[in-house]
Amino acid sequence: MLSADNACALLVDHQAGLMLFTGDIDPVHLRNNSVALAKVLKLHNIPVVLTAAAMGPMGPLGPIIPEIQELFPDVEPIYRTKINSWHDERIRNEIEATGRKKVIAAGITADFCIGIPAKTMADAGYDVRLVMDASGNYSEMVLHASIANLTQAGVKVSNWLSVACELQQDWAIEHTAKGLLEIYQQHLPQWGMLETTQNTWKNLPNH
């Protein structure tokens, strides 16, 4: 199981321009899921490595979306030229320095930008969880091909809510349970509507 003590995270290319590149998920949902995942990582103090295309904000792909960057003000993004992030010594050193063998991975796109380093890390003995709904693909066809390719290579495909629950482990752990419920309220529309309804009922006369 993932825990706050055994996991680190690699977030690749959550750049404003690339958020528009995906065809298997609406950019609004992709942004929502990516920010939710980042908040979960922040909640559990998971060490995070941020990386983006070489020119960063000055390039055509734009900056890392501000909601993610603002959550980790002390994390300096690593701007790279290598397609496989694991082959960039700076990124590899950051992950190895955590001493953690479970990697929560997400990025755009899941078939190469995050998919290729995820497969390489899995081959190197890491337990990699690729968060598909915070990653995105060029099309539905590529999504299915990515899942097959990743799982064949030993990468575990997941989603942000599954990662959140695995890290939480027990609702009795109150110091993170409250924060996770706030993330639910902000990023799970159905949960937010249900909570609004329940709160309204509680405030009605004779309830």
What's the pLDDT tens digit per position in 83-96? 999 999 999 999 99
The residues that bridge with 80 in the sheet, in sequence order, are 53
pLDDT tens per residue across span 173-188: 999 999 999 999 999 9
* pLDDT for the residue numbered 189: 77
Q: Model confidence at 198, in pLDDT bands (50, 70, 90)?
A: low
Residues 114-129 have a mean pLDDT of 98
pTM of the model: 0.91
Question: Could you tell me if residue 45 is left (phi over 0), alpha (psi between -120 and 50 degrees) or otherwise beta?
Answer: left
* Average pLDDT for the chain: 92
* pLDDT for the residue numbered 57: 73
7 touches 167 (CB < 8 A): yes
Where in the sequence numbering do the catalytic residues fall? Answer: 113
Q: Model confidence at 204, in pLDDT bands (50, 70, 90)?
A: low
